[in-house]
Amino acid sequence: MLNEPGRKSVSTMVFWFVIVLFFMLLAGVIGNERSNAAQNSARGALTGSAANVADEAAVVEYTLRTRIGENPAMAYVGVGGDIDGVVNPALVVNVGDKVRITVINGDPTLHDLNIDAFNAHTGELVAAEQTATVEFVATQAGMYEYYCSVPGHREVGMKGTLDVVGEHTGQVVQVADTGYTAAAAGAPSSPAAPAAGPADAAAAIISRNPADVPPTVGDRGPQTIEVDLETVELNGVLADGTTYRYMTFGGQVPGPMVRVRVDDTVTLVLHNQEDSQLSHSIDLHAVTGPGGGAVYTAVMPGESASFTFKALAPGVYVYHCATPSVAHHITSGMYGLIVVEPEGGLPPVDREYYIMQGEMYTAQPFGTPGQLDFSYQAMLDEQPQYYVFNGAAGALTQDAFALHANVGETVRIYFGVGGPNAISSFHVIGEILDRVYDLASLTSPPMTNVQTTLVPPGGATMVEFKVEVPGRYILVDHALSRLERGLAGYLIVDGEANPEIFFSEEAPDGSGH
């Protein structure tokens, strides 16, 4: 209008100016109660006339409440006004409006709200009913996304649009770029890694001792049993001087080995620790039923849930958290094995060990000291920095967690891959696997005399071998680049030399490749 004075009469201008003022006032007084009609009128009035009202910019307020567990799985729901009850409502404002968005945390788990273009970030909301407000001026017309940045939340539905209506004011507007958006849009993505925070001096040793294996069920009949698992989020030692925020079953990686008998009736009780930031669940591959139980065990912090299943088939099965982002929860440590033994129990051996492989997607490169961040983009790209047995780099090469056996003993290893993505080519350097229960099938005859065996993510194997020669044997994934990213374990065999099987006059120089 100002640009084209010849086309509008002065009275028209005054009329629109009054209308604009009216709606500015309306918006200011009733905040998020503003109506669509009001927005539409204001939109029309403001077009091209931002200069008129620059000093009297409207304050537009919206309130959103986070919601979990409906459809979509996670969302923001409008509170008050036109958007009341609307899932992921479109928020409509005019160029130049001062926008105030309040987020109420609808559940006691971690969420936030971000509109990158306007550098609007609520920061973390953790407790139920906690609120945070962002305020910014909608300086540039366009459609922008608001979303939750907790890994997986945006992907399962925590997002909506902010529609800034009106014409470009001609000003150059600084638009923030998080790197996430650019990468998702296909732009070249190699943003510099964020600096690691200081390592958590109180970080726990999260690696489970591979000797932590419950006793065989033996020769008993089917029973009804209860298995209690607790989900625990904690800072743990990923490598020497390096810590990471783990999610676990029971505070260790992998979670406790569960051992039952075929035809047992198992009540699985999952409790989510009070101070968790996220909800969790459990999917056991030994379960026949929806989601492997996950759909019945989505538990908020401080809550418990349970379901009962019959263990129909013997095998060594992976269990894992199935809460979005599932891959994020798994890479952070939420996996374990449940062994369903056949009738009569598994044949006794001298030593049993429990090992699981995973890979870790940190934002900082392998070997960076400090508290490392999880990188959602690296996970999507399947570009891990760390590969781990039992949760931490080199954990099973340390004295406390190395495997031990004596010459002449038979060793059984329950080996699973939590992943979430990488297949393992499991190998024991210097040994031949006498028996491989391929893919952890305990009802098929084992393969014999295997050098390296494949284990898929979400899969397992059971291997057995007799140790004949003393020395140090190294457990690896024979995709050996991963050895240099933390993936190794030791089996120390003690006993008399066995020159008939192995002999050298040289002094040993390590034991590896």
**Residues in contact with Cu ion by the rule CB under 5 A:** 111, 148, 150, 153, 158, 280, 321, 323, 329, 334
Q: What is the DSSP string of 138-160?
A: --S-EEEEEE--STTTTTTT-EE
Helix, strand, coil percent content, the chain, rounded in steps of 5: 15, 40, 45
- In the bound state with Cu ion, the residue whose beta carbon lies nearer, of 335 and 401, is 335
Q: How far is CA 411 from the centre of its chain?
A: 33
> How wide is the angle at C-alpha 318 spanned by C-alphas 314 and 323, nearest 5°?
135
CB neighbourhood size of 143 (10 A): 11
As a whole number of Å, the end-to-end CA separation of the chain is 79
Closer to Cu ion by CB, 49 or 332: give it: 332
Look at residue 80 and give its three-state secondary structure. Answer: coil
Contacts of 405 (CB under 8 A, 6+ apart): 350, 351, 411, 467, 491, 492, 493, 494
Residues contacting residue 362 through CB under 8 Å, at least 6 positions apart: 238, 244, 368, 372, 373, 374, 375, 378, 385, 386
Which is closer to Cu ion, CB of 20 or CB of 300? 300
Measured from the CB atom, the residue of 210 and 254 that comes closer to Cu ion is: 254
Buried-state track 193-229, b at ≥16 Cβ within 10 A, e below 16:
beebeebbeebbbbbbbbeebeebbeeeeeeebebeb
Shortest distance, position 323 Cβ to Cu ion, whole Å? 4
Work out how close the CB of 105 gets to Cu ion at its nearest, in angstroms, rounded to a whole number: 9
Q: Is 153 or 245 the residue whose CB approaches Cu ion more closely? A: 153
Nearer of residues 95 and 134 to Cu ion, judged by Cβ: 134
The nearer residue to Cu ion, 148 or 311, going by C-beta atoms, is 148
Q: How far apart are CA 318 and CA 460, in angstroms?
A: 7
In the complex, the smallest distance separating the C-beta of residue 74 from Cu ion, rounded to whole angstroms, is 6
Query: Least distance (Å) from Cu ion to the CB of residue 334?
Result: 5
Decide: 462 and 412 in contact? Cβ < 8 Å. yes
Smallest separation (angstroms) from Cu ion to the CB of 185? 21
- Is the Cβ of residue 254 or residue 315 nearer to Cu ion in the bound state? 254
- Of the two residues 232 and 334, which places its CB atom closer to Cu ion in the complex? 334
Helix (H/G/I), strand (E/B), else coil: 480: helix
Least spacing, CB of residue 53 vs Cu ion, in Å: 35
| Min separation Cβ 186 and Cu ion, Å | 25
Q: Identify residue 480 by its one-letter amino acid code.
A: L
Q: Nearest distance from residue 403's CB to Cu ion, in Å? A: 29
With respect to Cu ion, which residue has the nearer C-beta, 67 or 259?
67
Contacts of 225 (CB under 8 A, 6+ apart): 260, 264, 265, 266, 267
Q: How many residues does the chain have?
A: 513
SS3 state of residue 252: strand
Task: Please state the closest distance from residue 302 (CB atom) to Cu ion, in A.
Answer: 15
Instruction: Quote the DSSP letter at residue 453.
Output: E
CB of 87 to Cu ion, least distance (A): 14
